[in-house]
Structure formats: C-alpha cells, structure tokens
Amino acid sequence: MHNEGLGSWPARRARKTPDTAALVHEERSLSYRDLLDRVSRLARALRGLGIRPGDRVAYLGPNHPSFLETLFATGMLGGVFVPLNTRLTAPEIAYQLDDSGAAVLVHGAAHTALADEVGAPVRVGPDAYEDLLAGADPDPLDVPVALDDPCMIMYTSGTTGRPKGATLTHGNITWNAVNVLIDHDLAADEVALVSAPLFHTAGLNMLTLPVLLKGGTCVLVAAFDPAATLGLIERHRVTFMFGVPTMFQRVAREPGWDAADLSSLRILTCGGAPVPTSLIEVYQRRGLTFLQGYGMTEAAPGTLFLDAAHAVSKAGSAGVPHFFTDVRVVDAAMADVAPGETGEVVVRGPHVMRGYWGRPEETAAAFTDGWFRTGDAARVDADGYAYIVDRIKDVIITGGENVYPAEVEDAILADPDVLECAVIGVPDDAWGEVGRAVVVARPGSGLAPERVLAGLSGRLARYKIPKSAVLAPAIPRNAAGKILKARLRDDYGKP
C-alpha cells in the first residue's frame, strides 16, 4: 500500500480478520470487513465534496461509528481530521473550525442546530451521511500518505485563553498505539468499553485506536452511565476500560456493584487525575487493579505509565516513561534535577506532536533542544518513578477536562462590573478539583458572585464555568504585576 497512515488500518485489518467485530454500537455490530466498506465509501464521498490531501474534515457528535469512519476515511484521502468537543459552545466551535480551516463538518443528529449555527462550509448530518455512503463506490482508495504527514488536529486550551491545535501525525498516533500495545499487553480478543468521549485524546488514542490496531472490539457508548456500565461489562464480556477517577467512583457506588459480574475485566486504566487510594482499595476488593498514567494532547498522549504491580507501592506516582518515550525532570537550564527535587517535565519521542497548527512561534517556544516542555512540575524518586506535584501552567483538571484559568478569566473580565479576577482550582470529592473565581467588583456596582457565574452561561462550556465565586478586596500580585496564585489558594482555596 502507498498509504502508511491510519487511513490504511481498516484495509490492513480486514485482510487479516475480516469477520471479527470491530465496532459495536447499541444493537449494531460492524465487522472489520464492514468497517472497510463504509470507510472506503465515505472516503470517495468526501473526495466528491472536494476533499484533497491536507484538507481538514471536522466531526461533532457523541461516540458513534461515524466518528471513527470519518477519521479513517479522512486518513484514507490524506486529509486531516479535527475532532470537536461536544461540550463547547457555538462561539468556541466556530473558532476551532475557522482556526483549522475545516472544509467539511460531519455531525450527529443532536448537534444539527449547533452545526447550522456555526456555519461550516459543508455540513453533513446523519441522513446525508448515509445517503453519501449508499451512493459511493466501495473500492478502497490508496493515496500516498507518510507517517510524517499530519493526521489530526486536537485542540487543547492555551494559557493565553485561545485554544491551540496540536498537530499529530500518523506516526505520532501509531507510535503511541505501539506504546499502549506494549505496556498494556493488549490481546487480539480485547473488548473495550468506550464510554469516555472519543474527541478526547485518551478515549481515542489510549483506548480505541490501540484496540482496533490489535484487532479487538470496541463497544461504543454515547454517554457514560454508571448503572449501564455494569450491565454492558457483563453483556459484552468487556476486558478493557478507561475512565477518569470520578467515573470509576460512580460505578463503584451503584447498588448493583457488589453483585455485578466483573470477571471478564482485565485492564482498568485511569487518567486525568491521580487515583485516590480509597478508590484503589474498593476495586482491589473486587480483584481489580488500576493502571495509571500521565500524558497530554501534545504527546498523543501517553507519557508516563504506572503498571498494576506498583499501583499500591508507588501510589500517587504517574509511573515511568512508556517504552518508546523519553522523559526528564529538569531545572531552568534544562539540567536534570536530583532525585526528590522538583523540576519541569520534558518529553521526547516519536509520539510527540510536530507543533501547534498555524502557530510557529508558540511551537518554537514549546520545545527546547527537541524536548517538549510540558509546563508541569514533578519530582522523581530513587527508583525512577515520577510524581506530578504541581501544574506550572495553573491548569485546573476537573473530571478529566483541562480548564485553563486565562480563558475563564478573560470571559469574566468582559463584565464591566468586574475590575479584576483570578480563577483557581479547589479540591472536590466528585471531580478532583473545580474552578473558583476570585473577583474584585467595581465599587458601588452591587455585583453578586452568582451573577458572575450566570454571565458565563452560553459563553463557555459548562465544565469551564467555575463552580463558585467569591468577592475579594484585591488580587495579590508581585512587583512585576503577576498574580500570586499560591497566595490566592491559601486565602480562598479551601473546599
């Protein structure tokens, strides 16, 4: 084949295991032969809509076979896939479509009104989607695609308040999948329950794509439901799950937890936030152990990995680097810090992005001597296990979602009655942490905290909106005018 990228995966897998179930969604199952047929038809249909190598195709919708079909079909054409977060508002979606230059937007039925509002050049809803496939040639295309060619643009919030598109190549995604195959020891008969959203790098790149590469089956669920999860595990004999800690906590609190048949489960991976020791113990009582990790969109995303053997002895650690990953913890001069000392995490490997879409200056600033600077602080113990101790960029991780305060602060400051504001993270039992806005009101305005939060509705995704707001007499700053967020956390960061 001339195509070395993801677009060739359906054909490569279909020639090996054509009759194995690739995708299961509701009552429908697609074999790898079926998947190749639909992907081939969609690729030709997209080409009929004018998509050529390098053109961008966006997708907006919940977990569904059409998400993966669009990804593979775009790759078969040599195009670039742009997954969109369904939790974003219309202005946020419109920005990402414009920034990526997407020529086509494929969307789910529930997002028709939103797709119409954002005004993509060509919009393909479910009915039109099936009509396109039905009228297309099923013969697979074989466009030359190299591993260094861009595969997808995944948006991640930036400290400047504008999301940045991490440009991941076919090689980035492939090498990340190889890391997962090695370190998770995936089997050919793996059955993955995909309830984490596919538009997130973890749900797509740490779970779904590695399983499909290996020839397993992915059970796609449109939205996470803790009670339904127990039934799906038993019904489909699920072997592999991924989730953020709060998802696993909710499953374990279900009334049917103690009696549920979990005997098929072999791999539980958890990310987005450290796994509480109490949660580890709850699952260990059912004979299950978590695999934890640390990563970022820019690294496609796997970076550090804590295996089951060390889940308890190294509790709180993010583990050691994946097999084809190099990680260092360095000081400001890029020299390795001593064990136990805190420094910045830097990453290098074939899975690390080529750069930010259309942002050469920010790309250059993100790398030093070929190492990607994560902005996260960590320490490494004498055994080489890394512990993430702080987030240099002040990112708030709430239920696995990254929220950057700068973007939220920018939105709050649009209120003329707000003189100053800062957003910090505060601990939360359900979500790990949530945002809190510290606001200085214009004198005499009568500004109430509730009004600050209400003013963000419809302007920011709900998960980005702080869960609380407090009024303060002033925002502490240093001599250079930089906000002293450590002091803010001391004064206002209690739950």
What are the tens digits of pLDDT across the range 122-158? 999 999 999 999 999 999 999 999 999 999 999 986 4
Per-residue pLDDT, averaged over 199-216, amounts to 97
Provide the residue range defining the domain that includes 423. 396-492
In this structure, the number of other CB atoms found within 10 A of the CB of residue 164 comes to 24
- 427 and 373 co-located in one domain: no
C-alpha 86/C-alpha 119 separation (Å) is: 16
Host H or E run for residue 63: none
Q: Select the more confidently predicted residue: 274 or 253.
A: 253
Q: How much of the chain, in percent, has pLDDT values that exceed 90?
A: 77
Report the alpha-carbon angle 240-43-88, nearest 5: 60
Q: Domain holding 416: CATH number?
A: 3.30.300.30
Query: How much is the pLDDT for 410?
Result: 80
Does residue 383 sit within a domain? no
Same domain, 250 and 293: yes
pTM of the model: 0.85
Average model confidence (pLDDT) across the chain? 93
Number of structural domains found in the chain: 2
Residue 207 shares a structural domain with residue 314: yes
Both 368 and 408 in one domain: the answer is no
* Residues 246 and 116 occupy one common structural domain: yes
> Judging by DSSP bridges, how do beta strands 367-368 and 371-380 pair with one another?
antiparallel
Q: Examine the domain organization and report whether 372 and 416 are in the same domain.
A: no
Residue 391 lies in a domain: no
**Ramachandran category for residue 319: left, alpha or beta (phi over 0 → left; psi -120 to 50 → alpha):** left
pLDDT on residue 176 = 98
pLDDT at 271: 83
pLDDT tens for 372-410 read: 999 888 899 999 999 987 666 677 888 888 787 878 888
If asked whether residues 406 and 350 sit together in one domain, one would say no
Q: Is the pLDDT assigned to residue 479 strictly greater than 60?
A: no
**How many CB atoms neighbour CB 410 within 10 A?**
16
Q: pLDDT value at position 120?
A: 78
**Least confident range of 338-352, 356-370, 381-395, 446-460:** 381-395
- Position 132 in a domain: yes
Please say which residue of 324, 342, 377 terminates a domain. 377
pLDDT single digits (tens) 82-129: 999 998 999 999 999 999 999 999 999 999 999 999 987 899 999 999
DSSP state letters, 394-457: --EEETTEEE-HHHHHHHHTTSTTEEEEEEEEEEETTTEEEEEEEEEEPTTS---HHHHHHTTB
CATH number, position 206: 3.40.50.12780
| Predicted confidence band of residue 250 (pLDDT cuts 50, 70, 90) | confident
Residues 34, 174, single domain; the answer is yes
Q: What is the pLDDT of residue 480?
A: 46
Whether residues 268 and 201 fall in one domain: yes
Q: Is the pLDDT of residue 332 over 60?
A: yes
Q: What is the SS3 assignment for 283-342?
A: HHCCCCCEEEEEECHHHCCEEEEECHHHCCCCCCCCEEECCCCEEEEECCCCCECCCCCE
Q: What is the pLDDT of residue 342?
A: 86
Domain match, 180 and 208 both: yes
173 domain residue, yes or no: yes
196 and 162 fall within a common domain: yes
Q: 134 Cβ partners below 8 Å, 6+ apart?
A: 41
How many of the other CB atoms lie within 10 Å of CB of 365?
11
Q: What is each CA distance from 24 to 29, 30, 73, 222, 434, in whole angstroms? A: 4, 6, 19, 12, 34
